[in-house]
Amino acid sequence: MSSEQLLLKAKSLLTVKYPYFGMLASRLKHEPSDSVSGYASNGKRFIYNSDFLERRSVEEVMFILTNAVMHHVLSHQQRKLNRRGRLWQLATDYAINNLLAKNGLAIPQGANYNKEFEGMYAEEIYDALKEEYFGEGGDAFSESGDAAPQEAGMSQEADDSQGFANIDGISDEMDSQDESQWQYAASIAQEVAQRKGAMPLGLERLGKKVKPSDVDWRFELYNAVNRHMRNNYAFMPPNKKHIHRGIALPSLTSDTLSLCVAIDTSGSIDDALLGAFMEEFKTIMQNFPSVKIELIIADAKVHAHHTFQGGEKMDFRLKGGGGTDYRPTFDYVEANLPMTTMLLYFTDGEGSFPRIPPNYEVLWALSRKAKVPFGRGLVIFD
C-alpha cells in the first residue's frame, strides 16, 4: 500500500472509530518529502518520508496522525511558560500517548509511553521527568532549554521504532491564527463526537485549562478603556487603507490613554493560571491594536517591563515564584510610567497593597474572590 493510501485509510478509520480524532486529523494536508527521515507537522502540513511511512501499519499511521494533531489542539506551547523546551515537549508527548492508550489506540514500540503517567497533567509529568533525569536542581539542561535526555530517543536517524518518539517533528510554535483555528476545529469535533457518544476518555484532564467565569470582564475592561479614549486625528502614521489610491487620510489614534498591565508571577499563581493570564493579555493586544501597552512582570518585586503594540510577538520568560507585594509595582509605575491612566493587574488578590491609592484607575483581574482596598475587582476565572 502506498504512503498516500495509508494516510487516507488511517484518516478514514479514525473518523469511523474515533470521530473526534478523525475530524481533527482530516485537517492536516500531507505531502511527501525527502527532507525528513520520518515525519513532521507544523499544524498546517503533515510532511512525511514515503519510505518510512510505507513500512508502517495502518494502526501505526493512525497513532502518528492522532499524536500530531493532539499536540496542536491542546496548545501545549501556551502552557510551556518558562519550562525547558525539549523536556516539556517530552512531557506533553507522554500525556497525549497515555490518553491515546486509554482510548484503545495501539501505541507503537518506541513511542513515549509510560503507564505510570496515566491521568497526570503534562505539568505534573514535566516535574516528574525533571526530577528523574536531573535531580532536584534540574541543572543538566542548558540555559536555552534545548538539551534533552539521551534516553528519550529523539534522533531522526535512529531506527524506525524510535521514529514514534519524534517530538522534534511536531512544531511547538504556531501563530495565533493557527491556534485559534485548531481550537475552533476542536470545538466542532467535540460537538460531533458528543452527539455520537464517542468523546475521548480522559480529555478533560489532558486539556487542563482555566475557564473564564460568567463575569464578562472584557466588557468591563473595554468600557474602562473607552472612558479614557478621546479620538484624536493625526497624520502620522497615515491610514493605510487608502494609501494605494495616493490618499493619506489621518489615522485614528489616542494621546490620552496609557494602558499598563501587570501580571502576578508569585508562588501562589500556578502555571495553568499564569498561562491563562498570558492568553488574556494576548486578547487585549489583539483588541486594542492602536494602543501601546506596558507589561510588567512582578511578584514581590518587579522582574521585567516590556512594551507592546498591536500583534507584536511576545518573546520573553516569566520570572517570579516568590511572595506577593503589589507596592513595588505601583512604585515602578509612578517612577517610570508617569503618564499611566489605567492599570490592569492579573493576580489572585493575596498580597500587600499600597496604603495610598494611585491617581489612575486600577482594575484588578482576579483569579478568585478577594477584597481589594481600592480600584475595581473582577473575578475573571473559575
Distance CA 53, CA 225 (A): 54
Distance CA 380, CA 212 (A): 6
Residue 234 has pLDDT above 50, yes or no: no
Residue 138 has pLDDT above 90, yes or no: no
CA 5 from chain centre, in angstroms, equals: 34
At 374 the pLDDT is 95
At 147 the pLDDT is 38
At 10 the pLDDT is 93
Q: What is the number of other CB atoms lying within 10 angstroms of the CB of residue 273?
A: 18
pTM to 2 decimal places: 0.54
- Helix, strand, or coil here: 117? helix
Average pLDDT score over residue span 90-117: 91
Place of cell 542548558: 142
Residue 151 has pLDDT above 70, yes or no: no
At 226 the pLDDT is 64
Distance CA 353, CA 357 (A): 9
DSSP secondary-structure letter at 290?
T
- Percentage of the chain beyond pLDDT 90 is 29
Domain map (residue ranges) of the chain: 3-206, 217-379
- Cβ–Cβ under 8 Å, residues 351 and 326: yes
Q: Which of residues 323 and 319 earns the better pLDDT score?
A: 323
Q: Which of residues 331 and 41 earns the better pLDDT score?
A: 331
Q: Which of 37-51, 150-164, 280-294, 297-311 has the lowest mean pLDDT?
A: 150-164
